[in-house]
Structure 1
Amino acid sequence: MQRTSTLCLAIAALTASASLTPTLADEGGVSFWLPGNFGSLAAVPGTPGWSWATIYYHGEAAAAANAPFPRGGRTDVGISGRGDLAFFGPTYTFATPVLGGQAAISILGAAGRNEASAALSLTGPLGNTIALARTQELTSFGDVIPSATLKWNFGTNNLMVYGMGDIPIGDYDPARLANLGIGHAAVDFGGGYTYFDPKSGNEFSWVAGLTYNFKNPDTQYRNGADFHIDWGASHFFDSKLQLGLVGYYFQQVTDDVGAPASLGGFRSRVAGVGPQAGYIFPMGDKLQGYVNLKGYWEFADQNRAAGWNTWLTFAISPAAPEPTSAKPIMRRY
C-alpha cells in the first residue's frame, strides 16, 4: 500500500488541468475553472522527480431553449456544446522540503475540438442581423495553465495549498461561438485535505478554491469571482485497483461586469457527481503508470449549460520506493 499511496498522489497533482470547454459559465458560457480538476488523493505528497500527464476530456452540455448568455457584445440564446480536448504537460516534484512540506510545479497545454450551437443570437443596439440556429466547430489549441502546490503529510492526514493561472494564448475570437481559449487572464488559489489510511485502503479528499478573472480586452467583459470545491472518495482493493466516487460544486460569488442589465449579475452555479476507477502498473524499474477514468452527471445548474463529462487520465511518474519494513508507512515531508 506504500506504493499505492505515493504514486497516486504524484498523479493527483497532474490532474489540475484547465478550462476551455463549452459546458461552463460566465461570458459566452465559459469560465476559467473546470470543475473536476482535483479528485482523490489530491493532498498526498508524491514521489520527487519529473512526471507527465495526458488527460482526455469529453463534455456535452445544453442550456434551456430560452436561456440567454452574453458573449462579446451580443446575447446567445439556447446554447449547447460538445468538447473533445486533450490536456498534457509535465510536473516537477522537489525533494528538498519547503516550509516543512513538499513543493511541485507544473504546466499544462490544451488542444482539441470544440463544437458550439445557439438557437438564436441577438446583437447589441448597434448590431446588424439576428442569427438563427447556428453551429460552429473549431479544432485548435487552448490556453497555457501553470500551477504550483505545497503539501504536508501528518500520518493519515494530508494538507495542501495550491495556485494556478491562465495565460490567454489559446485560439479565441469573440465573434465565434466555438473557442478553445477564454480570451482573458485568470488566477485561482485554494487548499485541500486528504484522509488516507494505507492499512484499510480508504481515502477521502476535498479541494476548495476561488477564481479571480481579469477583464476580457476584446469585449471589456469581466467574469465574477467563482468559488468551487472538488471531492473524491475511493477504496484501494489492493496495490493496483482503486474504485470510488467523485463530485464537485461550483458557485459564482460576485457579479459579472458587462452583462446586459436585463441579466442582472448573471451568477452561475452547477454541481456534479459520478463514479471513478483507477489502476496502477509498473513501467520498468524506475517508473510507474496510472490510468484513471471518472465521469460526472451535472445538476442544480443556474445561468450555465449543464450535462455530463468524462475524464481519462494517463500519467507516468517515478516509482515509489519500496517500504523498509513489512508495515505500510506514509512518508513525512
Structure 2
Amino acid sequence: MHHHPRPALRHPAALFLCLALLLCAAARPALAVEGGASHYIQGAYGDFLMGLIPAAGFYARNDTFYQSGHMGGTAKGGKVYAGLDESMVMNITKLSYVFDVPAMGGFLGLGLGVPIIINEHITGDVAANYSRKSRATGLDTPHHLEYGGGGDRGGLSDLFLMPVIAGWNFGECHLAVMPIVFLPTGYYDKNKLTNLGMNYTTFDGNVAFTWLGKAGFELSVNAGYMINTENITTKYVSGNQLHVDWTAAYHVNERLALGAVGYLLAQTTPDTGSGANLGSFYSSGTGIGPAVTYTVPVAGKDVMLIAKWLHGIGASHSFLGDSVFASFALKF
C-alpha cells in the first residue's frame, strides 16, 4: 500500500502539530522490540504434527510465504514513524538430521535454517528524528520532520541454527525440544527502513507437543521463548518474547488433513539499552486461519505439501495483517 500526505499536512507547521498531537495522544510513541518486529514470524513455527519425529534420518522443509501488514507508531531506521506498511515474500529452507538414540529412548539431532527475503517493501507515514531532551518532560523531542520513506530490498536474512533437536514418541503423544539460535547475517543499516536482518543474536527455546488420536484428530502446540541480545549499532535491547503456535486438525486419511492454525505473541520484558530512549513498551499479537496438507509420492519419496493462511485478529505495537504459506517437507 502507498500512502500520500493529506492536503492539511502539506505545510511544515501543520505537519509538526499533527505529529505532536499523535505522540501526546499515545503518551509516548508505541515501541516494542526494536522496529516492532523480531526473529519470530507469525505462524511460521509449525502446523501439522509439529511435535512428531517419526524416524531417524535427514529431513528437509521449504516454506515460501507472503506477508503483509500495518503497524502504528514505532521507531525504525533511526526515526519515529506514525505508521509502517510492509509486504514481504520470503523463502526459508530448513535442513535437519536426527539419530535414533536407544539410550534416551528417542531421537537426537541438529539442523540449519537459511532464510532468503525475495522482496521486502516498506513504506512509512510521517517520520521524525528524536535526539534532543525536553526540559519540561524529560523526553526526547522531535526535530526534522519528513514524509516517511520506504523502498524495496531482497537477499539473505538471519541464518538460524538448531544445535539440538530431541524427540520422544509416547503412543498417541509426541514431544520435541528444539532450541534455535538466530545469527545477525542479514543486511542492516540503521538509517534504512528495508533491513534484511535484526542485527542482533536471539536465543529461542522451543518445546513442541502433538497428540494424534487413532480416530485421526490432532492437536499440536509449539511454545517458545526468545531472549534477544543488544543491537550494537543502535544500543537497543529488545525485550524477551513468548510465542505459541497451535494446530487443531482432522486427518481424513494417511495423506490428507484439514485444520485450523493460529499464533499468540506476547512480550514479557521491557526494551532496554541506551538506544531505547523513548521508554519501554510491550508487543503482542494473535491470529488464526485454515490449513491443509496432502502427501504425494515423488520419485519414491513421500512429499508433504502444506498450505495455510493466517489472519491477524489483534496486535499491539506489532504488525497486524495476513500471511499465506506454501510449503513442502520430506524425509530422505
TM-score, structure 1 normalization: 0.82
- Which of 125, 130, 135 is 2:131 aligned to? 125
1:279 & 1:228 partners in 2: Cα distance? 27
TM-superposed CA distance for 1:130, in Å, is 2.5
Structure 2 residue 56 is the aligned partner of structure 1 residue 48? yes
- Unaligned runs of 5+ residues in structure 2 are 1-30, 133-141
Q: Is the 8 A contact 2:77 2:192 kept in 1?
A: no
Point out the structure with max Rg over C-alpha. 2
Q: Does 1:137 align with 2:152?
A: yes
Q: 2:33 aligns with which of 13, 16, 26?
A: 26
Alpha-carbon contact 1:240-1:281 (below 8 Å) kept = yes
Aligned: 1:312 with 2:320: no
**What does residue range 144-183 of structure 1 map to in structure 2 within 5 Å?**
144-147=159-162, 148-183=164-199
State the shift of 1:207 in Å.
1.2
The aligned residue for residue 297 of structure 1 is: 311
Matched, 1:279 2:286: no
Q: Percentage identity across aligned positions?
A: 25
Structure 1 residue 129 displacement after superposition: 3.4
Given the alignment, which residue of 88, 97, 115 partners 2:93? 88
CA contact (8 A) 2:303 2:329 kept: yes
- Contact kept, 8 Å, 1:72 with 1:218, in 2: the verdict is no
Alpha-carbon separation, structure 2, partners of 1:168 and 1:185: 6
**CA-CA distance at 1:309 after TM superposition:** 0.5
Aligned to 1:193: 209
Deviations 1:81-139, CA, capped at 9 Å, x for gaps: 00100111321121334622212321111112101111022112269732204221102
Q: Deviations over 1:59-84 (max 9, x none)?
A: 00002xxx321235421221110010
Q: Which letter maps to 1:29?
A: G
Post-superposition CA distance 1:134-174 (Å, at most 9, x none): 22110221110111321111111112222001111111111
Q: Quick check: 2:37–2:319 contact (8 Å CA) kept in 1?
A: no
- Alignment-mate amino acid for residue 305 of structure 1: F
Report which structure shows greater RCO (CA 8 Å, sep ≥6): 1
The SS at the match of 1:219 is coil
CA distance in 2 between counterparts of 1:139 and 1:68 reads 24
SS of alignment partner, residue 35 of structure 2 = helix
Does structure 1 residue 215 correspond to structure 2 residue 230? yes
Unmatched segments (≥5 aa) in structure 1: 1-23, 319-333
The answer as to whether partners of 1:72 and 1:219 remain within 8 angstroms in 2 is no
Deviation of 1:52 after TM superposition, in Å, equals 1.7
Task: Select the structure that is richer in strand.
Answer: 2
Check 1:135–1:98 CA distance in 2 against 1; reply closer, same or farther (3 A cut): farther
Counterpart of 1:250 (choices 252, 257, 265) is: 265
**Which residue in 2 is equivalent to 1:76?**
81
Aligned length: 289
Question: Could you say if the C-alpha distance between residues 73 and 133 of structure 1 is closer, same or farther in structure 2, counting changes exceeding 3 Å?
Answer: closer
Q: Post-superposition shift, 1:317?
A: 1.3
**Is residue 228–residue 251 contact of structure 1 (8 Å, CA) maintained in 2?**
yes
In the superposition, relative to structure 1, how do residues 317 and 235 fare at CA in structure 2: closer, same or farther (>3 Å)? Answer: same
Deviation, structure 1 residue 301 = 0.8
1:260 shift after superposition: 5.3
Determine the C-alpha separation between the residues in 2 that align with 1:181 and 1:135: 16
Residue 122 of structure 2 is aligned to residue 107 of structure 1: no
Q: Say whether residues 1:238 and 2:253 are aligned partners.
A: yes
Instruction: Between 91-100 and 200-209, report the one with greater CA deviation.
Output: 91-100
Alpha-carbon offset, residue 261 of structure 1: 5.2
Runs of 4+ in 1 over 6 A off after TM superposition: none
1:191 to 1:85, Cα distance in 2 relative to 1, 3 A: same
For residues 89 and 257 of structure 2, the distance between their equivalents in structure 1, rounded to whole angstroms, comes to 25
* TM-score when normalising by structure 2: 0.82
Residue 46 of structure 2 contacts residue 222 of structure 2 at CA under 8 Å; is this kept in 1? yes
CA distance in 2: counterparts of 1:98 and 1:120, whole angstroms: 60
